[in-house]
Structure 1
Amino acid sequence: MHKKIISLTLLAFSTLSFAQDKVEDLVSHVEPDVIKWRHHFHEFPELSNREFNTAKYIADYLNSLGFDVQTGVAKTGVIAILDSGKPGPVVALRADMDGLPVKEQSNLPYRSEQMGEYNGNEVPVMHACGHDTHMAMLMGAAKVLSELKGELKGKVKFIFQPAEEGAPAGEAGGAELMVKEGVLKNPDVDAIFGLHISSNADVGTIRYNSGGTMAAVDPFKIVIHGKQAHGAYPWKSVDPVVTAAQMIMSLQTIVSREIKLIDDAAVVTVGSIHGGNRSNIIPDSVELVGTIRTLNSAAREHIYDAMARKVKGIADSMGAKATLTLPLDFSYPITYNDPDLTQSMLPTMQRTAGVENTILSKPVTGAEDFSFFQEKVPGLYVWVGGKPLDVPEEESPAHHTPEFYVDDEGLKLGVELLTNFTLDYMAMH
């Protein structure tokens, strides 16, 4: 029995080695197309749940590869299946599709001049977070894997996801809706892989983390109800402004005094305060809106409990009333890289980028709705460098800004990594 298992394992890795000899050449061959696709997506971005032309462009190409293609998933999403015809696992690869309401400030020949509608207003649209590169890299991986179909064992599910940046007001969307519509079923996905280009990491590098790698997101709203009075006679009021000030300061002590920050970071931010309209009127109410970011479930649960405790306690102490809505309108889970999957794929990352270019990095308090996929199946989400080597990190433009830029040189590594994740996972399972 043991000899049979060993021989099957050796056979799998022998097949893998045979396929791997082709990968670099195939990726190099498709690289000009990947760059062309990236430029097209960048020049013609579309906002969340409005990626109609983007989806058609992707679907037309996937159909040309002979895949089983489904459109209109979670409004504008595109799903494609590559079936090797042989038994094996189902590996999912995901890219996000939407742009942002940002006015591009660049001299690129493929810069965006597009406009779109956001919250009822006409706004400029830009791929200011690199989703154009994600789509192009996944299309490249689809091409390479189609060429390697004979070496595959199982199926590959390509997921092009809309609305990662959040659905428009009053709409559902993104990974959460995709999961609800069964994107991880028929066939059932065994593992999912995703990547994000980074404008701050050098081209040719991979950054990864095991466990909590990007934060859960929990927006909140607090409405404080007091008693209105003339500003000259504050003793006649129940002042919601002073109550709000005390509440804001107290909320900061949840992280600074109640969370064990040597283990995981956490954030409680109040980003909006609304109340009153004149200097000499104490208003009857104040509204606070903010966000919570956590990297493990214990910290998340603690902050939920502490928020309710502090809001009620401070309001009671001031004679006011307060209502806490948490989460407010949406909530993202923790982007959690399955430790076993991460460990098993570490050699893949090291072989693809080089050991010295595969960097264990700290978690970040930004968020990703890839986390909804990881709630259901083991997943791995990594960063691929897009910063030109001659640009100092402190001078690289940030994501979600008009100056955002990543180098086409970073795309090849992403295509190769998605391909190798698929090949290696299939060989191991």
Structure 2
Amino acid sequence: MRKLFSLIVLCTTVSSVSAQNIQQLIDQRAKALLPKVIEWRRHLHQNPELGNREFKTMAYIANHLKSLGLEVTTGVAKTGVVAILKGGKPGSVVALRADIDALPIVERTNVPFKSTVMADYLGQQVPVMHACGHDTHVAILMGTAEVLATMKKDVPGTVKFIFQPAEEGPPGTEEGGAPLMVKEGVMDNPKVDAIFGLHIAAGLEIGKIKYKSGAFMASSDWFTIKVKGKGAHGSAPWSGIDPIMISAQIINGLQTIVSRSEDLTKAPVVITVGKFNGGVRENIIPEEVSFSGTIRTLDGAMQKDVYEKIRRTASNIAEALGGTAEVTIDNKTLVTYNTPALVSNTIASLQTAAGAENVSEGTWTTGAEDFSFFGEKAPAFFFNLGGMPKGAQPTSHHTPDFLIDDSMLDVGVKAFCNIVFDYGKVKK
């Protein structure tokens, strides 16, 4: 009995030491790789590309992954990259995702790797900038792939690295982004058991991680409302039906859906009109105008209810004023939902990477992510990584002044690596 007890203690000690050694190796190699991760990030920042046009970015990523000996596929969902690492130990199939596209925004920062790139967007020449931090996501995942490749014999299961194009939305009527990746089977062959992703946060201090179980980021819908009236001379509005005036009433009416019709104690709702097209001359009342905007919800039932109320509000107001309104709603993303059991089992991995004192649960956000489509196919967990310089004021995503401190991107690398070892070791 004593010998059996001693054997159990010995086996437990060896296992514990092995796990501790793995964590130490991850820490050491991620830290040693940090200068390269920063270099990759700054190269990508200086050479941004718009969604479905990330050809140079695709080649840059693929060349690195091939140098690590991974199985690499390019051209997924047009410009995406998928790589497979088969570990030396049995375990699950874990997917890690990074988005790779930039935005049509002019950069106003003074960093030495500032973007001056111009590109075509729907027939117009526009400035291009990584104004949401996707360059950091790519660099972190490239670093994760390198660290895990050096530890391949100890890696449990299979790791699928997904570099996704067009997260900000493909141009015009093109397909793209996570929906197209899912459609092309990225979550199969091998079938993914769980998928993880992160997003740099310009309002969260570097070195920190925030997460939320359940609904985390909002669904995103785009709507367009066409209002038809009757043209008239601007000096005699009573001889026509003014679609601009009707539209103004509808826009005001949409806000009553938020303030008076939805239970905001259950989940937030946002309706924003961001675009208005109508009229050609100051003294001509046009026959037709249109305006467009976005809907953000964090509950599927509320999302459908808002759809119906927008249609009813627009139609009834237009009819009451003698016109008509046609509503079109296009779903862009689903609610980004973090599987509670997966979150619970992953918190320890994040704490190992960043320190328990730097990991905390946050609140949901009305920002949206097409990572949500991957979560329709497997348990998913999406979290935020701090990118704000210590003691600084936060900058806003999707603006010319967006700024990230990249000096602690190794925390993201460590988080992904620890997730692979902690979740992947269970054979599915």
Q: Which bin holds the TM-score, normalised by the shorter protein? A: over 0.9
Match of 1:132 in 2: 135
Residue type of the partner of 2:105?
V
Alignment of 1:407 onto 2:405: yes
8 Å Cα contact 2:157/2:425 also seen in 1? no
**1: distance between equivalents of 2:191 and 2:361?**
30
Alignment of 1:333 onto 2:334: yes
Match of 1:422 in 2: 420
Alignment of 1:102 onto 2:105: yes
8 Å Cα contact 1:40/1:110 also seen in 2? yes
Match of 1:3 in 2: none
1:18: Cα distance to partner? 3.9
8 Å Cα contact 2:337/2:372 also seen in 1? yes
C-alpha distance 241-87 of structure 1, shift in aligned 2 (>3 A): same
8 Å Cα contact 2:332/2:370 also seen in 1? no
Alignment of 1:188 onto 2:191: yes
1:14: Cα distance to partner? 6.9
Residue type of the partner of 2:398?
H
Match of 1:31 in 2: 34
**1: distance between equivalents of 2:162 and 2:302?**
31
The equivalent position to 1:295 in structure 2, one of 293, 298, 301, is 298
Match of 1:397 in 2: 395
Residues matched between the structures, number: 418
C-alpha distance 425-174 of structure 1, shift in aligned 2 (>3 A): same
Runs of 5+ in structure 2 lacking a partner? 1-7
Alignment of 1:308 onto 2:301: no
The equivalent position to 1:247 in structure 2, one of 244, 247, 250, is 250
Runs of 5+ in structure 1 lacking a partner? 1-5
**2: distance between equivalents of 1:42 and 1:257?**
43
Match of 2:221 in 1: 218
Matches within 5 A, 1:132-151: 132-151=135-154
The equivalent position to 2:240 in structure 1, one of 232, 237, 241, is 237
8 Å Cα contact 1:16/1:427 also seen in 2? no
Matches within 5 A, 1:2-401: 16-327=19-330, 331-391=332-392, 395-401=393-399
1:87: Cα distance to partner? 3.1
**1: distance between equivalents of 2:114 and 2:243?**
47
**TM norm structure 1:** 0.92
1:15: Cα distance to partner? 5.2
Of 276-285 and 150-159, deviating more is: 276-285
1:283: Cα distance to partner? 2.1
SS of alignment partner, residue 251 of structure 1: helix
**1: distance between equivalents of 2:148 and 2:196?**
15
Q: Write the deviation string for residues 178-218 of structure 1: whole angstroms up to 9, x where unpaired.
A: 11111111000011111111121101100111111111111
8 Å Cα contact 1:276/1:283 also seen in 2? yes
SS of alignment partner, residue 91 of structure 2: coil
8 Å Cα contact 1:104/1:403 also seen in 2? yes
**1: distance between equivalents of 2:223 and 2:248?**
16
1:105: Cα distance to partner? 2.3
8 Å Cα contact 1:38/1:135 also seen in 2? yes
Of 305-314 and 68-77, deviating more is: 305-314
Q: Write the deviation string for residues 315-367 of structure 1: whole angstroms up to 9, x where unpaired.
A: 2222211111112xx52111111111111111222232222211211111111
Residue type of the partner of 2:364?
P
8 Å Cα contact 1:384/1:410 also seen in 2? no
Percent of residue pairs bearing the same amino acid type: 49
Aligned-residue Cα RMSD (Å) equals 2.0
1:233: Cα distance to partner? 3.2
1:428: Cα distance to partner? 4.4
- The structure carrying a bigger strand percent of its residues is 2
Residue type of the partner of 1:336?
Y
1:298: Cα distance to partner? 1.4
8 Å Cα contact 2:91/2:426 also seen in 1? no
